[in-house]
Amino acid sequence: MDKAQLLLSLAVAMFAIGMVGVIIRRNVLVMLMCMELMLNGVNLSLVTFAHQSGTTVGAVLVFLIFVVATAEIAIAIPIVLMLVKRKQTLDPAAYTDLKG
């Protein structure tokens, strides 16, 4: 198994762990962290493919994604904080007020 295969397996594993985490965990913060894990799994695969093809475009794109992800988290965390302030819990099942 060469280096690229190893890295891609790692990327797939990170994505899968993140996805399972989002689906099964009942803590909003953990879910956010798992989402980051998924994102970084994708990033890793992007960098790997870029390295393999010998271009720098993929690496540059990853930096752009980092910036966007940071901004996204900067909004997501305050929203979570506000929600927690209201209901004193991190369980997303508590926020089903609009359910018919």
Regarding 98 and contact with another protein (CB under 8 A), the answer is: yes
CB of 93 to another protein, least distance (A): 7
Exactly one of 12, 24, 60, 77 binds another protein (CB under 8 A); that residue is: 24
Return the percent helix, strand and coil in the chain, to nearest 5. Answer: 80, 0, 20
The residue behind tokens 């009942």 is 26
Stretch that binds another protein, among 2-10, 16-24, 62-70, 80-88 (CB under 8 A): 16-24
- Range 27-86, binding another protein (CB under 8 A): 31
- Backbone torsions φ then ψ of 51, nearest 5 degrees: -60, -40
Q: How far apart are CA 28 and CA 91, in angstroms?
A: 6
Regarding 13 and contact with another protein (CB under 8 A), the answer is: no
CB of 20 to another protein, least distance (A): 10
Q: How far apart are CA 73 and CA 75, in angstroms?
A: 5
Spatial contact of 35 and 22, defined as CB atoms under 8 Å apart = yes
- Chain contacts with another protein (rule: CB under 8 A): 19, 22-24, 26, 31, 92-93, 96, 98-100
